[in-house]
């Protein structure tokens, strides 16, 4: 067993005095509350920092740490939204669009070099919103959010429980943003296709497939990187992964909207 077997007994040092450190036994309450995930995260951070031995350009001083949205001060959240809006206004850098891929690092870098963003690059811990994505500081429509839910439409179908929105984002940042490109299921996915930004917040999906408990147990039950990937994706080729359903990855996506691919599978035209 690889990575997690090695790090977890370390994470538990001082916590578990059960003698045989064979399996990792976080109390269920700590798994559900997020305490276990915090400890695992802290151990991973310590390990990463310990690996910065001075032999590369990356040092403890200049390494950038990504942070969960709600840990950023309001001013930094607004500065982030402003930088994203600025980046959206930049000219297309792809002369011929042939399935561009914007990698996270590139996106982060462009926010800094083209749009002057100096804060931490945020991420969303969606498990924190399993009690109600509508109340999330990311999507509550306030000026320090990433904009509101979409207008309420019936987005349910026989295959998929719809969320509480589904229409165009109604207020807050990105309210009138025009999505220009895609979707990748369109007849010509590279064509100019202006439309509103839609969102369909879905607490049911978040609570069932992307909770803190789900994320933590996905880590704890994955003895190697292959099964970790499978569990994370709910990859049905691995029998052990099947119970995770949409899984932590898909659960995150579908907590803010379902894709047209799912609609198509279910025989619906569009949302």
Ligand X SMILES: *[C@@H]1O[C@H](CO)[C@@H](O)[C@H](O)[C@H]1NC(C)=O
- Residues at the site binding ligand X, with contacts judged by CB under 6 A: 95-96, 130, 154, 156-157, 175-176, 207-208, 211, 213-214, 217, 243-244
Alpha-carbon distances, residue 168 vs 175, 179, 231, 261 (angstroms): 8, 11, 32, 19
As measured in angstroms, the least distance from the Cβ of 32 to ligand X is 7
Contact 179, 195 (CB under 8 A): yes
Least Å from the CB of residue 130 to ligand X: 6
Closest approach of ligand X to the CB of residue 17, in Å = 28
Report the residue number, 118 or 154, with the smaller CB distance to ligand X. Answer: 154
- Nearest distance from residue 245's CB to ligand X, in Å? 7
Q: Closest CB to ligand X among 117 and 244?
A: 244
Among all residues, whose Cβ is closest to ligand X? 211
Q: Which is nearer to ligand X, 55 or 96 (CB)?
A: 96
Among candidate residues 213, 211, 207, the one with its CA nearest the CA of residue 32: 213
The nearest distance, CB 104 to ligand X, in angstroms, is 24
149 or 214: CB nearest ligand X:
214
Query: By C-beta, is 120 or 196 nearer to ligand X?
Result: 196
């Amino acid at each position: 067993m690889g990575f997690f077997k090695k790090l977890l007994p370390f994470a538990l040092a001082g916590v578990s005095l059960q003698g045989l450190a064979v399996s990792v036994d976080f109390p269920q309450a700590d798994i559900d509350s997020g305490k276990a995930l915090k400890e695992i995260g802290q151990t991973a951070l310590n390990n990463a920092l310990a690996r910065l031995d001075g032999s590369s350009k990356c040092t403890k001083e200049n390494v950038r740490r990504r942070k969960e949205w709600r840990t950023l001060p309001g001013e930094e959240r607004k500065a982030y939204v402003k930088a994203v809006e600025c980046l959206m206004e930049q000219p297309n850098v792809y002369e011929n669009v042939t399935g561009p891929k914007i990698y996270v690092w590139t996106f982060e870098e462009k926010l800094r070099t083209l749009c002057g963003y100096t804060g931490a690059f945020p991420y969303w811990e969606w498990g924190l919103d399993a009690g109600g994505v509508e109340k999330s500081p990311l999507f509550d429509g306030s000026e320090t959010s990433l904009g509101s839910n979409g207008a309420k439409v019936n987005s349910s179908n026989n295959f998929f429980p719809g969320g509480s929105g589904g229409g165009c984002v109604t207020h807050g940042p990105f309210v009138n943003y025009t999505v220009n490109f895609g979707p990748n299921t369109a007849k010509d996915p590279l064509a100019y296709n202006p439309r509103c930004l839609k969102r369909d917040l879905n607490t049911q999906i978040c609570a069932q497939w992307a909770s803190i408990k789900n994320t933590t147990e996905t880590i704890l039950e994955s003895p190697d990187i292959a099964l970790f990937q499978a569990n994370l994706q709910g990859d049905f080729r691995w029998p052990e992964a099947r119970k995770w359903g949409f899984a932590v990855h898909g659960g995150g996506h579908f907590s803010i909207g379902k894709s047209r691919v799912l609609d198509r599978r279910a025989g619906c035209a569009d949302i």
